[in-house]
Amino acid sequence: MESEEDVCAFCRIRDTDTDTEILLSDEQLLCFRDVKPGATHHYLIVPRMHIDNCKALQGTDVPLVEQMVSMGWRILEKNKVGDLDDVRMGFHIPPFCSVPHLHLHALAPASKMSFKSQLHYGPQSHWFITVDKVLSQLKTRGKVK
Ligand SMILES: [Zn+2]
Ligand SMILES: [Zn+2]
């Protein structure tokens, strides 16, 4: 029988069972391009460990999320994103996750995203939660609302 991890697209990328180019990696995280970019720069930062989505996070995951954010800044800087104030980082809220393996979206320049991308990755979107909100909810409540 196949386990959930066998069929998970991001677990397969982790296991280098795909052509996806890994842009950055360390013991805990991987970074690669989003296959359907919503902005000029659009990267995904994914924990190696299979976590379903942001609702599965707990207060103890704050350091992990912070590491995901720091890898997000690293890939944006590495790819010469000029304006680091014009960046959007966040998670999709289930059931609006395209892949059921936790992934942080890092997009830039945020102000030049199309209307459609704003719907998917906008701070006012019902489908998307910014990483700042996730971190503050984890710190105060120990979970994502
Ligand atoms: Zn997975
Ligand atoms: Zn997503």
Helix or strand (DSSP H, E) at 45: strand 41-47
**Model pLDDT for residues 101-111, shown as the tens digit of each residue:** 999 999 999 99
Residue 7 covered by a domain: no
Look at residue 59 and tell me if it is in a domain: yes
Output the CA 85–ligand 1 centroid distance in Å.
31
| Euclidean distance between CA atoms 106 and 62, whole angstroms | 18
Ligand lying nearest the CA atom of residue 10:
1
Domain carrying residue 53? 24-141
Q: How far is CA 117 from the centre of its chain?
A: 15
Task: Give the percent of the chain with pLDDT over 70.
Answer: 96
Our answer to whether residue 120 is catalytic in this structure is no
Query: Quick check: is 60 in a domain?
Result: yes
Tens of pLDDT, residue by residue, the chain (145 residues)? 556 666 899 999 999 878 999 999 999 999 999 999 999 999 999 999 999 999 999 999 999 999 999 999 999 999 999 899 999 999 999 888 889 999 999 999 999 999 889 988 987 788 899 999 999 999 999 999 8
In a domain, 17, yes or no: no
Question: What spacing in Å lies between the alpha carbon of 83 and ligand 1's midpoint?
Answer: 32
17 C-alpha to center of ligand 2: Å?
A: 21
- Show Cβ contacts of residue 69 under 8 Å, excluding neighbours closer than 6 positions: 45, 89, 104, 131, 135
Would 137 be classed as within a structural domain?
Answer: yes
Q: How many distinct structural domains can be found in the chain?
A: 1
CATH classification at residue 65: 3.30.428.10
Closest CA to 88 of 63, 117, 122: 122
Nearest bound ligand to the CA of residue 121: 2
Q: Is residue 107 part of a domain?
A: yes
**pLDDT for residue 6:** 66
Q: Which ligand is nearest to the CA of 51?
A: 1
Q: Which of the residues 103, 105, 120, 126 is marked catalytic?
A: 103
Q: Would residue 3 count as lying in a domain?
A: no
Dist. CA 82–CA 109, nearest whole Å: 9
Distance from the alpha carbon of residue 31 to the mean position of ligand 2, in angstroms: 13
Q: Would residue 99 count as lying in a domain? A: yes
Taking only the tens place, the pLDDT of each residue in 24-43 is 999 999 999 999 999 999 99
Q: What is the pTM of this model?
A: 0.93
